[in-house]
A and B are shown apart, each in its own frame.
Chain A
């Protein structure tokens, strides 16, 4: 195994030995050292985001992640988008219905009927399409400001909080486009509901 003399590759066998050693070296460098070093630095200087941007309620209990949507079953809370996995964040996913798939129309029609039953004061043609369709991840934490706005009459009726105060709450929780241009304006549903809960508690 005198491969050192031929290391520049003068025979197939010597190339194989270099390839084998290269494979092991880069398995260690790229597969072990690199992720562990980035983990170490991130945990040391950015522990909040590195550990999932967790959100606490007023009493200090962790109630979720600011980045991961949740299911809100109680109609007095603001609701997020349709999720085919009911916001189970151990495994992300969506229906992946094709635009021509009849199941897509059936599911959306069911969402529309549910909307009409829960929100008799707001006609469907005012409801943004985003609120009645499935997100890509099934975990979309946000809705558009208009999607929050159309829920105000229902929540106001159920909680007794005046519509004006709810609208102000939405405005406070609206994030603009990143750097003023990128992406879309949006409202984080979990943070909005936490604020709503606080308002109800008082």
Chain B
């Protein structure tokens, strides 16, 4: 039954890729289509309100400047709201203003689409902050990432000088994709049990006469965009394991589809832009292959359970249930974990800190590779970066100038790609080493032995990959962890985005080389293999030593 439910979820996902991908392509191809009649007037009103008179294409520099300035504005507004939330309306539970380093960490975390949470929603945020900061950033950071990915694809597949207009992409991502979908999913979630109210925390008297205080709030509205935007920050401290955020296995499946279908349909969108569907399916196939390998690892590991715990003599046939919920069991828990770290959402429906060592290795590895589907746009961009690297390596082997989609790949592009590829391990491994070498860093580690290394490594990896899940035992609301992960999140988001826009800006201006029989093809099974090989070789080379010290050592010593 476990395998059957996983297969069903995957099958529906694959069926959704083509229709959703086609819709997304029509949104961003900027050619007239039927949906204009519905959305056109709304968008024209928004363009007027924000003062956007002409929607000319932008060069990559202007595009980058536009998205950076928009993000800076949102960060400033949000920081003010968090610091002053005690003075603002909709604060029925009388929450205080947020401390400086925690506010810094929180706004960075949400604008970078990471949603690492060093606060607990029930006690740290007013309803106004949950709405005007958290939900707002969930829309805008997702729309930013989506826009940049589309701009990158335009650079790869079109000719001219421009890669699109950022503000137009940004507005359309919200009006045509995120707002309508989020509203529908939120209402479906309410129907299945997720609360949506502005009333304060409830107090009830239980049948034994004790008082129970139940935190509640506008949960469903946050829950839907949290997944659709691959954001992942929970309304409550325990995120999607909280029965109000994720009350039934059916809501669990809906949340999985919500976070997975948009990233999974992006390779298809890329194929449409490239006017070659097979290009898109090769990328999708490589992502799905890697995903299935990690899913199998975590499923087998959690079913087998924790040998040390099982030795105490209980009936352990359920699998490793510590840190998991009854309604989800092993199958729905591990599927959620594999998807949330692949799609870099970072919501959790079970506690990743309590996963068995190899079960915890799978999400860690998915975030280290950061291209197995990936979050809003970033995963596709990273995978295409690996694709260009693969073409480059294959070209070196046969002694030809590498080409990708009819453009020569030259030193400038390779240098930018090398920067983007090396930045990711650098901002994970160096800060992890600093955390483990300093008292301020070690103070947060709460588990003894090898697992302590995994905790620090997971936190930095999750920040760099803009995922936001955590080994939540880590006591991370300290100035050291707030500031260090804040910086890592900023670098993780913006270095690769700007480098990739620069690559797109350089490719879009190149002359096209006609395809000949000698052209190395990037739309067949051979390239699928090369792509997976490139990802694994780069990932394994850079991260293996750290992984051996953490989860693998813990696995070998646990008996």
Contact = CB atoms under 8 A, between A and B. Distances in A.
Given A22-B170, A32-B132, A133-B322, A50 B472 contact: no
Contact of A18 (B51, B213, B253): B51
A160 interface: no
A136 to B, nearest CB: 3
Contacts of A4: 51, 53
Contacts of A178: 248-250, 253
Contacts of A99: 306, 308-309, 320, 322, 354-357, 451, 554, 558
Contacts of B354: 94, 96-99, 104
Interface string B207-222: 1101011111010111
Given A49-B192, A102-B448, A179 B250 contact: yes
A193 interface: yes
B49 to A, nearest CB: 5
Given A15-B69, A67-B244, A88-B212, A98 B447 contact: yes
Contacts of B285: none
Contacts of B448: 100-102
A104 B322 contact: yes
Interface string A178-194: 11011110100010011
B236 to A, nearest CB: 5
Interface residues of B, number: 132
A139 B242 contact: yes
B482 to A, nearest CB: 19
A126 interface: yes
Interface in B186-235: 186-187, 190-199, 201-202, 204-208, 210, 212-216, 218, 220-222, 225
Nearest to A112: B312
A49 B136 CA distance: 24
B508 interface: no
Interface in A72-98: 72-74, 77, 81, 87-98
B327 A100 contact: no
Contacts of A146: 315
Nearest to A91: B122
A127 B315 contact: yes
A126 B313 CA distance: 9
Interface string A115-154: 0000000001111111011111111111110100000000
B327 to A, nearest CB: 5
Given A23-B74, A181-B5, A129 B314 contact: yes
Residue of A3, A49, A70, A138 with most partner-chain B CB within 10 A: A49
B471 interface: yes
A64 B206 contact: yes
A15 B198 CA distance: 37
Interface in B49-98: 49-56, 58, 62, 65-66, 69-70, 72-74, 77
A171 interface: no
Nearest to B351: A136
B332 A183 contact: yes
A62 B171 CA distance: 45
A31 B53 contact: no
Given A51-B197, A67-B247, A90-B201, A30 B139 contact: yes
A91 B123 contact: yes
Given A74-B208, A132-B314, A194-B207, A100 B324 contact: no
Contacts of A49: 190-195
A53 B198 CA distance: 15
B516 interface: no
Residue of B1, B167, B323 with most partner-chain A CB within 10 A: B323
Interface of A: 3-5, 7-9, 12, 15-27, 29-32, 34-39, 41-43, 46, 49-54, 57, 61-65, 67-74, 77, 81, 87-102, 104-105, 108-109, 112, 124-130, 132-144, 146, 177-179, 181-184, 186, 190, 193-194, 197
Give the top 3 A-B pairs by smallest Cβ distance, nearest first.
A183-B249, A31-B136, A96-B473
10 contacts: A9-B66, A12-B69, A18-B66, A26-B140, A49-B191, A67-B244, A129-B319, A130-B318, A133-B323, A182-B8
